[in-house]
């Protein structure tokens, strides 16, 4: 039996809603959230079904209950040493019975997976087997029985997939810790697409309570460690940021310590990096992430909070050339070598920031291999060798996946002590930035963010070669002071489409969803 395809034909008679499934219903179109690369539907759409959706929810409840001992549900998931068999047991929570998701007579179920064979047995409160009827008196009863068998079987199959597929394991475990609609759709669609051609045989009504599981290992061990480690990652460290000693830099250098507005706060995750930079344990720092996430600002925040002057900021997409360390220039009747601010920083200390370093030609970055080595130095065109000052720090930023970018040379990439991915700014951070810089936009910030997220989702789902960033939103808010948000968008937000008339009209459609006066 192809239970995955049949699942789309089966629905409970009391409701077509996927229980605890973010409002999705049986046959809901979820294309806007995710489309699997192997999706072969006629329209290329992602469609959800009730049995698989509720199987995901049931599996997540059992797995989380293993570690938290959550009241009202218990179960176990075990796998044998060679991963050929999986044991899944669940006692159903009260709300599943009260809401008609499972027959109230059923107290618990046990599923044993062995290849393409599904052994499934239901028990009442007295551990008596409840036979699964093969011949039913009504069509509705048959449909309900099928849902019971299918959703529970899908829970067990999900458990097996997480045990055998590390990437799927990561997605599912992240979902259990932070359930969201898009990840729910992602799991449902991946699960279906990976198994949609498989046939399974049901073996029912065997007594599985005394099944020999002494050679099986519980998921509690694996998931418990993962959960414990994730909790440690969430712990907030009470970190006091240290600074460079006051006498290290000259008064002229100190004037180059960044001075940023009150809207900019150093993220908690960067505080340990600050102390590593001051101590010298981290002298080379690479920050990467999407455009507009504040990579350069993060460099400046680190330097501001530790009292480190930024001697030069180099835009690699425009300014980097073979004369980055200095060049010969005429001086009266002489030709002299004038070293650059980058070289001055290498010689005297301080920081330099190379923006969009992966735009640069590799030949123009060759000097970094010797500069960032343990015994760092550079050789100037006049033959002089400049040794790296102990208080020199090198910061670099880069975007990934945008037109014109390249992969960073592996030898150079390996020379960075600290590599940090800067995630997109939170709505809270964007709001604070916009309101601080453009106070007039306060009453419109929620609407601005609404357009931002709609356009961002379209860019990501269709993999468009365009970018929208908080900078665009600030430009929009500033221009709106003079002509209103709809007209200002024509000069600040619509141009993001790069003259793609279809996309321009899509953005205009997003704008018209909100009242701007």
Q: Is 176 helix (H, G, I), strand (E, B) or coil?
A: helix
Give the DSSP H or E segment for 284: strand 284-288
Structure tokens at 91: 């006692």
Residue 205: the pLDDT is 82
User: In this structure, are residues 51 and 2 in contact, taking their beta carbons and an 8 Å threshold?
Assistant: no
Q: Is 225 helix (H, G, I), strand (E, B) or coil?
A: helix
Residue 141: the pLDDT is 38
Structure tokens at 510: 């997003």
Distance of CA 441 to the CA centre of its chain: 29
Structure tokens at 213: 């599981």
Residue 42: the pLDDT is 76
Residue 133: the pLDDT is 66
User: In this structure, are residues 402 and 467 in contact, taking their beta carbons and an 8 Å threshold?
Assistant: yes
User: In this structure, are residues 356 and 317 in contact, taking their beta carbons and an 8 Å threshold?
Assistant: yes
162, 163, 169, 172: CA torsion to nearest 10: 40
Could you say which DSSP state residue 261 is in? -
Kindly report the backbone phi and psi dihedral angles of residue 135, in degrees, each rounded to the nearest multiple of 5, phi listed first: -125, 125
Residue 226: the pLDDT is 64
User: In this structure, are residues 388 and 348 in contact, taking their beta carbons and an 8 Å threshold?
Assistant: no
Could you say which DSSP state residue 386 is in? E
pLDDT (tens place) for every residue of the chain, 517 residues total: 899 999 999 998 889 999 999 999 999 999 888 888 888 877 788 999 999 999 999 998 888 887 666 555 678 899 888 888 999 999 988 899 999 899 888 999 999 999 999 999 999 889 988 887 654 444 443 333 556 889 999 999 999 998 888 888 888 888 887 888 989 999 999 999 999 999 999 988 889 998 988 888 887 766 666 666 666 666 677 788 999 999 999 999 999 999 987 778 888 889 999 999 999 999 999 999 877 678 898 999 999 999 999 999 998 875 567 788 888 888 888 888 888 999 999 999 999 999 989 888 888 888 998 999 888 999 998 889 999 999 999 999 998 655 445 567 788 888 999 999 887 778 888 898 899 999 999 999 999 999 998 998 888 778 788 888 888 999 999 999 999 999 999 999 999 999 999 999 999 999 998 999 8
Cα Rg of the chain, angstroms: 30
Residue 404: the pLDDT is 46
């Amino acid at each position: 039996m192809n239970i995955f395809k049949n699942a789309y034909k089966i629905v409970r008679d009391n409701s077509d809603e996927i229980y605890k499934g973010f409002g999705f219903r049986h046959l809901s179109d979820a294309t806007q959230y995710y489309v699997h690369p192997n999706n072969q539907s006629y329209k290329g759409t992602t469609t959800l079904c009730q049995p698989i959706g509720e199987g995901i929810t049931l599996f997540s409840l059992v797995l989380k209950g293993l570690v938290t001992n959550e009241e009202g549900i218990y179960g176990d998931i075990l796998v044998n040493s060679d991963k050929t068999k999986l044991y899944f047991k669940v006692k159903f929570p009260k709300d599943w019975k009260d809401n008609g998701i499972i027959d109230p007579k059923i107290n618990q179920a046990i599923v044993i997976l062995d290849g393409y064979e599904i052994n499934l047995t239901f028990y009442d409160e007295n551990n008596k087997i409840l036979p699964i009827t093969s011949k039913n008196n009504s069509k509705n009863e048959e449909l309900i029985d099928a849902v019971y068998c299918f959703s529970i079987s899908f829970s067990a199959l999900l458990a097996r997939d997480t045990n055998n597929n590390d990437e799927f394991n990561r997605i599912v475990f992240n979902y259990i810790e932070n359930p969201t609609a898009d990840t729910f759709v992602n799991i449902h669609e991946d699960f279906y697409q990976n198994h949609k051609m498989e046939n399974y045989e049901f073996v029912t009504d065997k007594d599985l309570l005394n099944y020999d599981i002494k050679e099986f290992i519980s998921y509690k061990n694996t998931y418990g460690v993962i959960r414990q480690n994730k909790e440690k990652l969430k712990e907030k460290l009470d970190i006091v940021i240290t600074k460079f000693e006051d006498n290290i830099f000259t008064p002229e250098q100190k004037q180059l310590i960044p001075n940023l507005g009150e809207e900019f706060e150093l993220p908690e995750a960067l505080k340990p990096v600050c102390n590593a930079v001051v101590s010298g344990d981290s002298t080379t720092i690479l920050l990467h992430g999407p455009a507009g996430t504040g990579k350069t600002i993060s460099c400046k925040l680190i330097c501001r909070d530790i009292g480190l002057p930024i001697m030069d900021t180099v835009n690699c997409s425009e300014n980097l050339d073979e004369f980055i360390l200095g060049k010969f220039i005429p001086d009266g009747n002489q030709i002299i070598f004038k070293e650059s601010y980058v070289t001055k920083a290498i010689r005297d200390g301080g920081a330099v920031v190379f923006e969009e370093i992966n735009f640069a030609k590799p030949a123009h970055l060759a000097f970094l291999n010797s500069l960032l080595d343990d015994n760092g130095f550079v050789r100037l065109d006049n033959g002089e060798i400049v040794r790296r000052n102990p208080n020199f720090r090198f910061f670099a930023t880069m975007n990934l996946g945008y037109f014109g970018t390249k992969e960073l040379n592996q030898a150079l990439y390996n020379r960075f002590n600290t590599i940090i991915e800067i995630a997109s700014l939170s709505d809270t951070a964007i709001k604070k930035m916009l309101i601080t810089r453009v106070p007039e936009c306060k009453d419109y910030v929620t609407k601005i963010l609404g357009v931002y997220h709609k356009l961002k989702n379209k860019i990501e789902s269709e993999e468009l070669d365009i970018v929208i960033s908080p900078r665009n939103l600030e430009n929009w808010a500033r221009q709106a002071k003079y002509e209103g948000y709809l007209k200002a968008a024509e000069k600040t937000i619509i141009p993001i489409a790069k003259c793609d008339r279809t996309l321009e009209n899509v953005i205009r459609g997003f704008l018209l969803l909100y009242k701007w006066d």
